[in-house]
Structure 1
Amino acid sequence: MRFSSSVGFVVFTSRLAAAATKEETVTYSHYPITGVHTGIDRATGSRPLRRNILDLQKDEPTWSLYIQALAAMQGTPETSLLSYYQIAGIHGRPYTTWDNVGPGVNTPLTGYCTHDSVLFPSWHRPYLVLYEQVLANHVQMIASTYSGSASHVYKTAADNFRIPYWDWASVPHMPHVANAEQIMISTPSGVRNVSNPLLQYQFQEFPFDKKYFPSSKDVASDWYLAFYSRTVRNPDTADSISNFSHANKVLENANLKDQYYALTKSADYDEFATGAVWGPSIENVHSAVHLAIGGVWGHMSQLSYSSFDPIFWLHHVNVDRLTALYQAMRPTSYLTPYPDHYGSYTLQGGGKINDTLSTPLQPFSTDTHGNFWTSSSAQSLGGFGYSYPEIQDWNQTPSRLQANVIAQVNALYGRSISKVKRSDLELQVRLKEWSVRISVSKFELHGQRFIVHTFLGDIPQDPLEWSVSNACVGSFPLLPPVSYTVNPHHRVPTYHEFSLTEGLKARGYDGQDSTLTATFLQEALQWKVQLVNGTVVPNDRLDSLSVQVLEGTVTLGSSIFKLPEYGERIVHPQITKGKLGDMRTGR
């Protein structure tokens, strides 16, 4: 199916309870993404919050509106510009023009989304706002169908509606409600048991047009997804149903709280934002969630299809939340120019052009004239009309907001070393911190998806058990775009770094004795590579693979309102020496 590229478009909005469809015709040169601005207190400036989905479930009016609105959006004809299908299709397939924003010059055949780029967090922000804006319109229309005493309640709920997030670091398994076939909600005609739109998206036009959704493995590595009429999560085979249990096992073993390391270690925003830069990045943690849910054969682990799965939006709202937390904790750190090696539907790759604060975040327009959002204009949440529970910036000074957000991040995600009990007046505590740093080209295996697993101790004989093994202390998923089939970026590295603190602690080492810790790591640390389908790849097949072990210091803040401070680090080459993929490069 090709996206509609005409200037005019038709928006179909379903009123579920009334079982009727209302058609509106609106003409734009470009669809303006302005955010949702209902529910804002004009006196105080307070904005409605994007809430944890576990909290939103307890709010019956808002929850009922959300479920009905998502079902209505998914039911909008796929030919409509503002259908679930077309908005999801911006991210990846079908690799066609949305909202009259055509491809750039010498750009790759891929989606608009930016991965392995410093634009990764900022591009997804207006993308989520677009989704929220369209969904909120459905919410308002459905709320208007409630009558009697419920009318005001649902109108207020609609005004305050913002899309929810799934905090996978605090709860490292999919929300139970996301996998239920039916859910009970309150509709205008009473309490009803309805099909759950969070479970899956059912494609309306199926079978697919093979031009846009190829079904041959000789054409595209995501060929198998063209045979599904609906989205699935971690199925056992290419033609089976979702396996929620296995996806949750992988999530629970994925060390997702290591996002704390990404949130607190680097004062450089670029290092936090993307795996294209040295350091622990939120992008790599985000990729681990994608892979855990999608598995070998599911939609979430192929970036070309992932946004069709409704859980994509819960996941990415959380990534946006974590980015906002980082911004609040480090208000002076933001994007600096960095080469774009991979490109997108509108951005040229090859490393010849830098992504900057003013790079257009296409296809997202600020107005009907085709002025686009940029990382600079999308930096603040306020202009989009939402916030998060931890970021109530309208009644605090920037310094007080910074301190309060740091306290909440420490309380929610702080590892054991950050929760040492101490008086605010005590001297700061300095501890040793150990980490693993990995670099590898994601195209090393000719476009195949693969994972670098790091272990402390015995590795399970069955490679299919590696991702759920207690011995696995860190995994680095490499998910190259499916459109690159000739390995054009063989030598462009992707980076990852994760802390060994919790892994060492679980084995009886606090890491404070350098000699003792280094000796243990030299004996116990191993790494293995496998394709996403479980096939083992010998380490010597990856010429670009480099693994380093670093020892540094971390100074804990004198109170919960302070960030830990990471000091200079040294590399321990003897720990990895003689192991295939040992330290070969440094920074």
Structure 2
Amino acid sequence: MLSHGLFGLCSVLSILVARTTAAELTAAGLPILDLQRDTEAYYAIIGVQTGRDSDTGYRPARLEIDDLQKDVVAFSLYIQALQAFADADNSDPLSYFQVAGIHGRPYIPWNNFNQVAGAGPGTSAFGGYCIHNSIVFPVWHRPYVALFEQVIAMHAQAIAKTYTGPQATIFQSAADTLRVPYWDWAANSQMPAVVSQQTVHITTPNGDQEVSNPLYSYKFKQALDPNLFPGGGLADSMQTFRSDNANAALAAGNLMDRTWLALTKSKSWNDIATTATSGTSIEGIHNDIHGYVGGTSSYMTFLDWSAFDPIFWLHHANVDRLFAMWQAANPSAFITVPKTNPGTFTIIPGSLDNIATGLTPFTSSQLGQTYNPTSSRYLSYFGYSYPGLNDWNVTAKQLKSNVIQQIYSSYDPNGIFGKRDVHQTSGSTLQLRGGFTPGAKSKEWSIGIAVDKFDVGGDGFFLRFFVSGVPQDPQDWFINDDCLGSIQVMPTPHSGHGPFPVLMEYDELSLIREVAKAGHDPEDVHAVARFLEKNLEWRVQKLDGTVVPTKQVPSLIITVQDEEVTFPTDNTELPTYGKKTLHPDITKGKAGGYVRSRRR
């Protein structure tokens, strides 16, 4: 078991200084502390400072992983830095093992933060620091990915200095602007090719070489302590792995459609940020990616294991990017209505989340100044940007216009302002919704979903939806063409086996494609309602593939609704949505169907 003392900054600095000079740490944007104060010190996440222009506000962009790979110099540095990160000893608080462990397992304190009373292994309290099903979900993960990026930058700076001759300047310049990449799963619903390659070709200080690919898998240094990683299965593996059916599941997930609806329909922070409120949220789509990549039994499927898989960081950089796009398109939106927090390692369940909620264990100063939603609100606080989010040379109004145009060009499956050359045209509504023009109005149909995250004995589960019959073999459900979509319900990481609180999760799935494929006019309410009443079905399936009778999930509420959407006359404004009209007869009488007295 790792001792609490290992998480003090003294151990951080003693390990770092042994292999990196103070000047290199400063160049990488990392804090240098007085070792005499180490018992009071915290590791400060201040963002990578190199490559920034303090006069103009310019910050280097995080690039899509395929674009980063095209830059041989930057990609070579990233791969070597990620490998150095993964190679660090488990006892190093800035090792991959411990940084990944912040998200869930091994449920041990990090960065000088102690557990709240009653939390920790052996109890029914929540484990890990990660915040899910909460309005602070996106801004908790922002400093988390920034921490990952900060350590990558530290290693990249050290590695760049090992190049000599003409390469020295080139690699140093690349190290200064290097930021972690993202995977845009909304535009390309396949895992990046590079994450499935066991080796990659890069330029090292010793020339071009084929090296082990740290994006393929994280290899554990030693057998995991069964007290901290119980249960066999994943705990018995010495390296991370993914579902063999990941790409098929991703392709069937309608990710562009879901992302488009989240970015365009959500007008309040609470709606876009979390599954704790109704509608399509960034968190809900995020959950699905975990399930599609992880399948029934691999690391990404489980919140308390997922950060060990290197694809986690590509995924969460994209979650951060999409949320930043929504922020730019809704510049005045912020947390206004507090919501309860489900509880974490350091947050008591039932606490109210607001603009001052402490995002432990992330601190912005060496004295332990904890981040909160206000101090984690903008990318500029952390020293990076994304393509198309250059906020330093434009007004907020112009940035909003630019980003909305980017949302249309990247994710609009309707093709209102022109078709695009995108990867995900197969199965997209783009092929099914012809005739839409700027300023047009239409009725859009969707499924509303509400369920208690812990309603299947505290285990994670999938909700599968069908419109043309349910395949006999449950193993075929998630990749079958008749499956209109799946929702992965991910209980907050926890120790013990209950009792669990009631923690409702909400989501939406679009029915636009199914209505169009069936040849129905969405304006013909009677015809669409009768079609869905006859054909819409749903099933509950645990992560290991076990089918759960729907009647054994008493909290489940499935509704069908329509909304009138009005498209703008140009691509600088988002569509507007009218009031939802519920159609209770479509699901009434079915297990999990609409019952007026059960609405939450």
TM above 0.5: yes
**In the alignment, structure 1 residue 323 sits paired with structure 2 residue 334:** no
2:108 aligned with 1:110: no
Alignment partner of 2:361: what SS? strand
Q: Give the distance between the partners of 2:501 and 2:494, measured in 1 at CA.
A: 14
Residue in 1 that maps onto 2:353: 355
Q: Name the SS of the counterpart of 1:9 in structure 2.
A: helix
- Aligned partner of 1:134 in structure 2 is 151
| Counterparts in 2 of 1:301 and 1:12: CA distance versus 1, 3 Å | farther
Matches within 5 A, 1:382-397: 382-397=380-395
CA distance in structure 2 between the aligned counterparts of 1:83 and 1:490, rounded to whole angstroms: 34
Cα displacement string for residues 135-170 of structure 1 (whole angstroms, at most 9, x for unaligned residues): 101101111111111111111111110100000111
Does structure 1 retain, via aligned residues, the 8 Å contact 2:416–2:438? no
The answer to whether the 8 A contact 2:8-2:42 is kept is no
Q: Give, in whole Å, the separation in 2 of the partners of 1:418 and 1:110.
A: 45
Q: 2:234 aligns with which of 225, 230, 248?
A: 225
Aligned to 1:297: 297
Shift of 1:443: 1.1
Alignment of 1:244-393 (within 5 A): 246-257=245-256, 258-349=258-349, 351=350, 353-393=351-391
1: CA distance, partners of 2:176 / 2:354: 35
The alpha-carbon deviation at position 565 of structure 1 amounts to: 0.5
2:177 is the alignment partner of 1:160 = yes
Shift of 1:509: 3.1
- Structure 2 match to 1:5: 7
For 1:124, the equivalent position in structure 2 comes to 141
With 162-171 and 27-36 compared, the bigger mean Cα shift is at 27-36
What does residue 482 of structure 2 align with?
471
CA shift for structure 1 position 132: 0.5
Q: Does 1:184 align with 2:193?
A: no
CA distance in 2, matches of 1:510, 1:261: 20
Q: Aligned partner of 2:235: which letter?
A: A
Match of 2:581 in 1: 570
Taking the aligned partners of 1:91 and 1:427, their CA distance within structure 2 comes to: 44
Give the aligned partner of residue 33 of structure 1: 45
Q: In the TM superposition, what whole-angstrom CA distance separates every residue of 1:480-508 from its partner, at most 9, and x where no partner exists?
A: 13525444345332111122112322333
Asked if the contact 2:342/2:503 (under 8 Å) is kept, the reply is no
Aligned partner of 1:239 in structure 2 is: none
Contact 1:340 1:348 in 2 (8 A): no
Residues 1:47 and 2:53 are matched in the alignment: no
In 2, Cα distance between equivalents of 1:321 and 1:497: 21
Query: What is the rounded CA distance, in whole Å, between the counterparts of 1:385 and 1:465 in structure 2?
Result: 44
Relative to structure 1, is the Cα distance of residues 454 and 331 closer, same or farther in structure 2, using a 3 angstrom cutoff? same
Deviation at 1:536, TM superposition (A): 1.5
3-state SS of 1:508 partner:
coil
> Over the residues paired in the alignment, what is the CA RMSD in angstroms?
2.1
Matches of 1:362 and 1:319, distance apart in 2: 20
Rounded to whole Å, the distance in 1 between the matches of 2:417 and 2:280 is 21
Quote how far apart the aligned CAs of 1:473 are.
1.3
Matched, 1:461 2:472: yes
Distance 1:103 1:510, change over 3 A: farther
What is the alpha-carbon distance in structure 2 between the residues aligned to residue 419 and residue 485 of structure 1? 52
Q: How far has the Cα of 1:418 moved from its partner?
A: 4.0
Cα distance between partner residues in 2 of 1:395 and 1:37: 19
Could you tell me which amino acid in structure 2 is paired with residue 384 of structure 1?
F
- Supply the distance in 1 between the matched residues of 2:521 and 2:362 (Cα, whole angstroms): 48
Query: Residue by residue, what CA displacement relative to the aligned partner does 1:28-87 show, whole Å, maximum 9, x if unpaired?
Result: 410111001211133422110001001000001100000000001111111111111111
Which residue is equivalent to 2:434? none
| Aligned partners of 2:15 and 2:92 also within 8 Å | no
Preserved contact between residue 438 and residue 567 of structure 2 (Cα < 8 Å) = no
Q: Give deviations 1:85-122, integer Å, cap 9, x for gaps.
A: 11111111110110111112344240001011111100
SS in 2 for 1:496: strand
Q: CA deviation at 1:176?
A: 0.9
- Provide the C-alpha distance between the structure 1 equivalents of 2:177 and 2:247, rounded to a whole number of angstroms: 31
Query: Partners in 2 of 1:252 and 1:427 — Cα distance?
Result: 29
- The yes-or-no answer on 1:435 pairing with 2:449 is no
Q: Do structure 1's residue 208 and structure 2's residue 224 form an aligned pair? A: yes
Assess if the C-alpha contact under 8 Å between 2:557 and 2:599 holds in 1.
Answer: no
Amino acid at match of 1:303: L
| Separation (CA, whole Å) in 1 of partners of 2:564 and 2:334 | 25
Aligned partner of 2:168 among 151, 156, 160: 151
Contact 1:446 1:485 (8 Å CA) reproduced: no
Contact 2:9 2:43 in 1 (8 A): no
Runs of 5+ in structure 1 lacking a partner?
15-19, 216-222, 235-242
SS of 2:537 mapped into structure 1: strand
Please list the CA deviations of residues 333-375 of structure 1 after superposition, one character each: whole Å capped at 9, or x if unmatched.
Answer: 12234333520000011x2x20111011111111110111110
Name the aligned partner's letter for residue 241 of structure 2.
Answer: V
Correspondence for 1:86 among 98, 112, 125: 98
Report the structure, 1 or 2, having the larger helix content: 2
Question: Is 2:126–2:493's contact at 8 Å kept on the other side of the alignment?
Answer: no
The aligned amino acid for 1:267 is: K
Distance 1:164 1:287, change over 3 A: same
Question: For the structure 1 residues 10 and 578, does the alpha-carbon distance in structure 2 shift closer, same or farther, using more than 3 Å as the test?
Answer: closer
Contact 1:443 1:487 in 2 (8 A): no
| Structure 1 CA distance for aligned equivalents of residues 481 and 250 of structure 2 | 13
Aligned partner letter, 2:281: S
Distance 2:70 2:438 in 1: 43
Q: Flag structure 2 segments of 5+ consecutive residues without an equivalent.
A: 23-31, 120-124, 420-436
Query: 1:483 aligned to 2:494?
Result: yes
- Match of residue 534 from structure 1: 545
1:21–1:490 distance in 2 versus 1, CA, 3 Å: closer
1: distance between equivalents of 2:129 and 2:411? 32
Other structure's SS at 1:365 match: coil
Shift in CA distance, 467/13, structure 1 to aligned 2, threshold 3 Å: farther
Whole-angstrom CA distance in 1 between matches of 2:544 and 2:487 = 15
**Which residue of 2 is the match for residue 238 of structure 1?**
none
8 Å Cα contact 1:12/1:76 also seen in 2? no
Q: How do 1:62-101 and structure 2 match up within 5 A?
A: 62-101=74-113
2:223·2:238 contact (CA, 8 Å) conserved in 1? Answer: yes
AA in 1 matched with 2:181: P
- Contact 1:12–1:21 (8 Å) recurs in 2: no
Identical amino acids, percent of aligned pairs: 41
* TM-aligned CA deviation for residue 177 of structure 1: 0.5
Residues matched between the structures, number:
559
Name the SS of the counterpart of 2:59 in structure 1: coil
